[in-house]
Structure 1
Amino acid sequence: MTTPRPALFLDRDGVLNEDPGYVHRWEDFRWIPGAREAVAAFNRAGWWVFVVTNQSGVGRGYYSENDVIALHARMSESLAEVDARIDAYYYCPHHPEARVEAYRHPDPPDRKPNPGMILRALGEWPVDLPRSIMVGDKASDLEAARRAGLRSLHFTGGDLARFLEAEVVAA
């Protein structure tokens, strides 16, 4: 068993990439300044790095789960260019008003503000919860962290690496 390490949980749209709405194609993806550098810094410090993202566009029929998976693969390729990596991506395609019935749920456990994606990561990885943090740009991100017992930081824009530089401590 691997020794528990702190984890950086990141919302995707609005934290790692610009959020014009329902980003699902690489051609429309734009990194937030300092996002790749922030991931690399936490990797070097020995932290796990996870993405936890609501993707209701799947349930709304705007794009497919394969589109989400393909975009995450491209993100990983781009991160590798700066010696950075995401250890796992978690996404929630469900929504209470999803047009696609398979994705309709009155209160999806994985959809933030519910903590399901975070709890799944905690069950799958040896995470040092008291030293871990969630970074989100919406109240639902911060609430999901609170419900999971995780400290959170509200990112309101700017350079993500600069925003997180005081948080990067060796695991």
Structure 2
Amino acid sequence: MFLDRDGVIIEDRSFVSRPDEVRLCANVEDMFDLAVRRGTAIVLVTNQSGIGRGYYGWEAFEAVQARMLALLGERLRSAAPLIHATVACPHHPAEGMDGFRIDPMGFRKPLPGMIDFALDRLALDRRRSIMIGDRDIDVAAGMKARLHRSIQLLDGFDHLRVVDSASETQLRRPMSEPVSAFLSRHVFAD
């Protein structure tokens, strides 16, 4: 399972660069709980142009990551590694500083480079993998990588856009249905 970070795991607060800015998205623990119970590998693929624009550095990115993992561990009461790998792209074609405008690996989403890199390095099966993000570029990266399915969070985990090679569907969670049941049926369905 490939996840975007900002807007999926943590609230997208525009260039989060300090641990005290980290707030987990509502119901994210339900997704992680299901993934951990199923033994699903979780890979974070995140555009981090704030690095390339000079807003913050890799150390700040790592501090935010550490805080995110600590908060997830507290919510899930788990010491197990929740994220198996993180691939981050610091480049931005228009606003990146020198050395950060050209993306030689094709990592910046909507390109599939980060996903392809992780699939190769971790020997994951693309036909069984999914991408979850909050933007069109996340869905595009998942589809370009030929993953089984890409899911866009339109309103947190309550309204999903599900895309595969044959179809596109929008789904709304009935208020009476627990988030975990909704995700189990639509995100983790085979």
| Aligned residues: CA RMSD | 2.0
1:28–1:96 CA distance, 2 compared to 1 (3 A): same
Letter in 2 for 1:128: D
Cα contact 1:114–1:144 (8 A) shared by 2: yes
Deviation at 1:129, TM superposition (A): 1.6
Distance in 1 (alpha carbons) for counterparts of 2:70 and 2:6: 18
Aligned match of 1:53: 46
Higher relative contact order (CA 8 A, sep 6+): 1
Distance in 1 (alpha carbons) for counterparts of 2:144 and 2:156: 27
Aligned match of 2:184: 165
Deviation at 1:24, TM superposition (A): 1.9
Aligned match of 2:68: 75
Deviation at 1:98, TM superposition (A): 3.5
**Which of 112, 118, 134 is the aligned partner of 1:121?**
118
Which stretches of structure 1, 4 residues or more, deviate above 6 A after TM superposition?
A: none
Aligned match of 2:134: 137
Distance in 1 (alpha carbons) for counterparts of 2:67 and 2:153: 23
Identity in percent: 40
Letter in 1 for 2:188: V
Distance in 2 (alpha carbons) for counterparts of 1:88 and 1:44: 18
Size of the aligned set, in residue pairs, is: 163
**Which of 146, 152, 158 is the aligned partner of 1:149?**
146
1:143–1:159 CA distance, 2 compared to 1 (3 A): closer
TM-score, with length taken from structure 1: 0.86
Once the two structures are superposed, what CA deviation does each residue of 1:43-98 show, in whole Å capped at 9, x if it has no partner?
A: 11011001111000111111111111221122222222212611111110011124
Distance in 2 (alpha carbons) for counterparts of 1:65 and 1:122: 23
1:17–1:157 CA distance, 2 compared to 1 (3 A): farther
Distance in 2 (alpha carbons) for counterparts of 1:155 and 1:11: 10
Structure index of larger Rg: 2
Letter in 2 for 1:158: G
